[in-house]
Amino acid sequence: MTTTTGSATGSDTTTTSTARAVTDALQPRNLLLAGMLAIGLAAAGHWTGLLWGLLGALCAGIVPAGYIEWERGRGTWGDRHVVDRTKRAPIFLVILGSIGAGSVVMVLGHAPTGILVAMLALWAMTVVLLAVNTVWKISVDASVASAVVALLAAVHSPWWLLAYAMTAAVCWSRVALGYHSVAQTVAGSALGAGTAAAFLLV
């Protein structure tokens, strides 16, 4: 009996450690940095698109992540996951303001259409996340992981849809860590996938 319990405990620890590594490596900040750079490059067709992509990543991912870390330092939240749904509204408002400001700069700077559309799509996605979060803890990590893949598929190649294996890994990690239910990650993924629909309007 002791051996079985020990094995089960060891298995649970391994699962948790793996899930933690996955959710940390594929957190929104990291995916948006890589994704927006690739979208900017594709939208411009040359290296200058990387600068627009960097601006997009800064506004959509890095600034919000910095805000979360700042609030963590103040003791507002225990970690970046902000498990309590009722405390998430300020984060969404920061994201909306940051993406909105970045979008204005892109318009004034005549950024390539593709990267601007991606920014506006992420802004709209955040509005929906904020609205849903008032009653249900939809997964932001799943939404971002799905949105990045969908946007890359829209601007680069449908082959990017194979990267949904990464989105599935993010969803699994969020459920394994107990941060979300399966339904919450599936809903987040579906919302993220919808961001690519913005390119149908261009």
Residue 171 CB-density burial (10 A; 0-12 exposed, 13-18 middle, 19+ buried)? buried
Q: Where are the domains of the chain?
A: 28-201
Q: What confidence score (pLDDT) does residue 114 get?
A: 93
C-alpha dihedral over 69, 73, 79, 80, to 10 degrees?
-10
Whose tokens are 């004034």? That residue is 108
Whose tokens are 């996951």? That residue is 81
Q: What is the pLDDT along the chain (202 residues), one digit of tens a residue?
A: 444 555 556 678 899 999 999 999 999 999 999 999 999 999 999 899 999 999 999 999 999 999 999 988 888 877 777 878 888 899 999 999 999 999 999 999 999 999 999 999 999 999 999 999 999 999 999 999 999 999 999 998 999 999 999 999 999 999 999 999 999 999 999 999 999 888 877 6
Per-residue three-class SS string for the chain: CHHHHHHHHHHHHHHHHHHHHHHHHCCHHHHHHHHHHHHHHHHHCCCHHHHHHHHHHHHHHHHHHHHHHHHHHCCCCCCCCCCCHHHCHHHHHHHHHHHHHHHHHHHHCCCCHHHHHHHHHHHHHHHHHHHHHCCCCCCHHHHHHHHHHHHHHHHCCHHHHHHHHHHHHHHHHHHHCCCCCHHHHHHHHHHHHHHHHHHHHC
Q: What confidence score (pLDDT) does residue 9 get?
A: 67
Q: What confidence score (pLDDT) does residue 2 get?
A: 44
- Beta carbons within 10 angstroms of residue 90's beta carbon: 13
Query: Which residues contact residue 99 at a Cβ distance below 8 angstroms, ignoring those fewer than 6 apart?
Result: 59, 60, 119, 122, 123, 126
